[in-house]
């Protein structure tokens, strides 16, 4: 068993964590049971079994499995503490436990941590918000004979579904939905039940070295949307500055447009009744608390500023946005993954679908976003950073590349290999193209080089982000190729991404146990029906029963989403989450 896994890994093939777990649970005889105390004081148990090992390579592989399981749990559920029950007579498992504090760097400060320790940074920030810093995360060891008899956990309380009631709230209000991503920001405003204005703005937040560089564009564009929506509400849509609202408007043009429209609106300038915000980081109680994503890497790596101070400014973005809502209005913020699930839930509920199990969704774009929404519209207050899940314990050759190298499987933020960040989103497409096309389809690979989609920079193969950000064009290039006849190798790239999604489904089922079994997929990778079909084909290779749905025009059931579907310039695939954010803002007006 172990020899076969290592053979695959050394051949640069993936070794999926779910396959390793299934094999270890079937054949292992060394207990390494995890008892995880969660933020709400409930306990989850993961009774791991480990196999006997014969050499240091096998020991290292088993250790990588244990570290990955714990890391995935911390990245998604979080924890107050973890107790490991093992056989204290087994020197190998005892030694493995003793190494956990060093691997996860429990004694280091946030700024000193790297790799696995990054998960504790997020965990500590959540503990500070939810439990006021009352607890400090720790690992504990106990003998397997002391393990308590497992008692069934109380069933999750299900509140009344609220999804279908939210569109009605939007009919007589002025509302704004903001969808912040890693390559662009999308906004749309509704005025008395009509989608009045849209805005798209390209940016590269990972290159920002100060918090103000992230905050100021968001605030300025929100002001721009308020001015435009106010003019629309006053029956003066003809006064909206179309140049400033255009996708390619410069900062100077937008600032000038903002000033002009606010002047023209005069006394008719009005605040929004609610703002819904989708932000690509962990959000707890409307506070942005993660701080370890690719989007804030430039700030983390800025030696001239205190990162915790910079991130604190970003964490209260919702408080800043209150300047644009009425005194009784609401600003509601959540992660982009839960926003995707929430959006799907509202649209499905209005269509009469059963929403009693809530919704589970993924966004496939710059990163993999994951959304889990309970039936009452609430979002579990956990990290849910599934894009950080380690799913591949193999592919050894690809671990040798630096994270910024296209062919690398190492995470941009942590340096850890095998995480979903390099498998199920745009980086996965780029990596697979760079791995296979030079030999199997050199004509397409050369075309990508000639177009500047791939380039050699300082000895590394990269997708350039300056002077022009080529990430979107690069993804669109390979998506288009995958849909062309005769481009089998390009098509196989998206089947492989689908296979990764099936492994993701297995891992989220194991750790999170959501009631919802279907997966709704959002984002640029599913914008093409051909690519979505290919991903479903790849997923079926591992699990033919896996049910995945694309967030396309079929999602349009509410009035606002139908208006988006009918728009000549914008699509549901692009702006669905911005519309969903409008309804999420309405959630703050209930009760």
Domain end among 118, 146, 174:
146
Higher-confidence residue of 131 and 561: namely 561
Q: Identify whether residues 372 and 472 lie together within a single domain.
A: no
Look at the chain and report how many structural domains it folds into.
3
In a domain, 339, yes or no: yes
What is the pLDDT, as a whole number, of residue 158?
A: 56
What is the pLDDT, as a whole number, of residue 159?
A: 59
Question: Dihedral through CA 478, CA 552, CA 318, CA 355, nearest 10?
Answer: -130
What is the pLDDT, as a whole number, of residue 499?
A: 98
Domain end among 146, 178, 210:
146
What is the pLDDT, as a whole number, of residue 98?
A: 98
In a domain, 526, yes or no: no
Confidence of residue 135 (pLDDT cuts 50, 70, 90): confident
Q: Identify whether residues 378 and 396 lie together within a single domain.
A: no
Classify the phi-psi angles of 12: left when phi > 0, otherwise alpha if psi is within -120 to 50, otherwise beta: left
In a domain, 525, yes or no: no
Q: Identify whether residues 168 and 80 lie together within a single domain.
A: no
Q: Identify whether residues 139 and 173 lie together within a single domain.
A: no
Q: Identify whether residues 465 and 391 lie together within a single domain.
A: yes
In a domain, 76, yes or no: yes
Predicted confidence (pLDDT) per residue in 34-75, tens digit: 999 999 999 999 999 999 999 999 999 999 999 999 999 999
In a domain, 156, yes or no: no
Q: Identify whether residues 180 and 246 lie together within a single domain.
A: yes
Q: Identify whether residues 253 and 279 lie together within a single domain.
A: yes
What is the pLDDT, as a whole number, of residue 285?
A: 87
Q: Identify whether residues 101 and 114 lie together within a single domain.
A: yes
Higher-confidence residue of 450 and 369: namely 450
What is the pLDDT, as a whole number, of residue 264?
A: 97
Are the beta carbons of 161 and 376 closer than 8 angstroms? yes
- The predicted model scores a pTM of 0.85
In a domain, 529, yes or no: no
Mean pLDDT value across residues 247-263: 96
Q: Identify whether residues 123 and 32 lie together within a single domain.
A: yes
Are the beta carbons of 438 and 414 closer than 8 angstroms? no
Confidence of residue 523 (pLDDT cuts 50, 70, 90): confident
Alpha-carbon distance of 233 to 244, in angstroms, equals 18
Alpha-carbon distance of 471 to 454, in angstroms, equals 9
In the predicted model, what is the mean pLDDT of the chain?
93
Predicted confidence (pLDDT) per residue in 143-177, tens digit: 999 999 876 565 555 556 788 889 999 999 999 99
**Measuring CA to CA, how many Å separate 324 from each of 230, 255, 311, 318, 320?**
12, 16, 22, 10, 8
Say which CATH number the domain at 578 has: 3.30.420.40
Q: Which of 345, 357, 501, 354 is nearest to 423 (CA)?
A: 501
- Which domain covers residue 139, as residue numbers? 2-146
Q: Identify whether residues 220 and 354 lie together within a single domain.
A: yes
Alpha-carbon distance of 561 to 190, in angstroms, equals 11
In a domain, 489, yes or no: yes
Confidence of residue 290 (pLDDT cuts 50, 70, 90): confident
Predicted confidence (pLDDT) per residue in 89-99, tens digit: 999 999 999 99
Are the beta carbons of 342 and 580 closer than 8 angstroms? yes
Are the beta carbons of 445 and 500 closer than 8 angstroms? no
Domain end among 146, 177, 203:
146
Q: Identify whether residues 296 and 263 lie together within a single domain.
A: yes
Whether 375 has a pLDDT exceeding 80, the answer reads no
Q: Identify whether residues 344 and 402 lie together within a single domain.
A: no
Whether 266 has a pLDDT exceeding 90, the answer reads yes
In a domain, 487, yes or no: yes
Whether 591 has a pLDDT exceeding 70, the answer reads no
pLDDT > 70: percent of the chain: 98
């Amino acid at each position: 068993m172990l020899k076969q896994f290592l053979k695959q890994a050394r051949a640069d093939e993936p070794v999926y964590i779910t396959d390793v777990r299934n094999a270890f649970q079937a054949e292992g005889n060394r207990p390494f049971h995890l008892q995880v105390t969660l933020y709400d004081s409930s306990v989850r148990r993961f009774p791991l079994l480990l196999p006997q090992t014969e050499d240091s390579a096998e020991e290292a592989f088993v250790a990588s499995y244990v570290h990955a399981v714990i890391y995935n749990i911390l990245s998604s559920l979080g924890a107050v503490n973890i107790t490991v029950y093992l056989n204290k007579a087994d020197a190998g498992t005892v030694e493995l436990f003793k190494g956990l504090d060093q691997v996860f760097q429990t004694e280091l400060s946030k700024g000193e941590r790297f790799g696995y320790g990054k998960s504790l940074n997020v965990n500590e920030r959540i503990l500070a918000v939810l439990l006021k810093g009352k607890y400090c995360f720790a690992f504990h060891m106990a003998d397997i004979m002391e393990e308590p008899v497992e008692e069934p956990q109380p069933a999750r309380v299900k509140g009344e579904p609220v999804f279908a009631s939210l569109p009605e709230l939007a009919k007589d209000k002025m509302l704004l939905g903001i969808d912040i991503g890693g390559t662009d920001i999308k906004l749309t405003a509704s005025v008395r039940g009509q989608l009045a204005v849209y805005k798209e703005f390209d940016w590269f937040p990972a290159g920002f070295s100060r918090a103000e560089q992230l905050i100021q564009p968001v605030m300025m564009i929100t002001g721009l949307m308020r001015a435009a929506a106010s003019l629309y509400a006053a029956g003066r849509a003809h006064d909206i500055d179309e140049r400033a609202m255009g996708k390619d408007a410069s900062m100077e043009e937008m600032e000038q447009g903002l000033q002009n429209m606010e002047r023209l609106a005069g006394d008719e300038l009005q605040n929004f009744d609610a703002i819904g915000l989708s932000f690509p980081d962990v959000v707890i109680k409307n506070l942005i608390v993660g701080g370890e994503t690719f989007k804030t890497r430039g700030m983390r790596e800025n030696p001239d500023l205190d990162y915790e101070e910079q991130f604190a400014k970003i964490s209260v973005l919702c408080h800043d946005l209150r300047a644009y809502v009425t005194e009784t209005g609401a600003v509601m913020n959540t992660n982009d993954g839960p926003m995707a699930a929430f959006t799907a839930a509202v649209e499905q509920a209005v269509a009469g679908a059963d929403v009693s199990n809530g919704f589970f969704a993924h966004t496939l774009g710059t990163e993999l976003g994951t959304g889990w929404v309970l039936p009452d519209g609430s979002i579990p207050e956990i990290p849910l950073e599934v894009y950080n899940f380690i799913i591949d314990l193999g592919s050894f050759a690809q671990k040798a590349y630096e994270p910024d190298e296209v062919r690398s499987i190492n995470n941009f933020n942590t340096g850890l290999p095998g995480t979903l960040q390099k498998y199920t989103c745009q980086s996965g497409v780029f990596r697979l193209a760079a791995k296979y096309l030079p030999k199997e389809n050199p004509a397409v690979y050369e075309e990508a080089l000639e177009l500047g989609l791939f380039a050699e920079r300082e000895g590394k193969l990269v997708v350039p982000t300056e002077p022009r950000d080529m990430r979107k064009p690069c993804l669109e290039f390979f998506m288009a190729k995958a849909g062309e006849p005769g481009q089998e190798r390009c098509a196989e790239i998206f089947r492989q991404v689908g296979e990764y999604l099936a492994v993701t489904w297995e891992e989220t089922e194991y750790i999170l146990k959501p009631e919802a079994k279907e997966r709704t997929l959002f984002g640029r990778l599913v914008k093409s029906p051909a690519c979505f079909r290919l991903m479903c084909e790849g997923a079926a290779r591992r699990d033919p029963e896996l049910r995945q749905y694309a967030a396309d025009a079929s999602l349009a059931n509410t009035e606002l989403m139908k208006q988006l579907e009918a728009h000549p310039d914008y699509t549901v695939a692009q702006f669905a989450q911005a519309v969903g954010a409008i309804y999420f803002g309405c959630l703050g007006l209930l009760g």
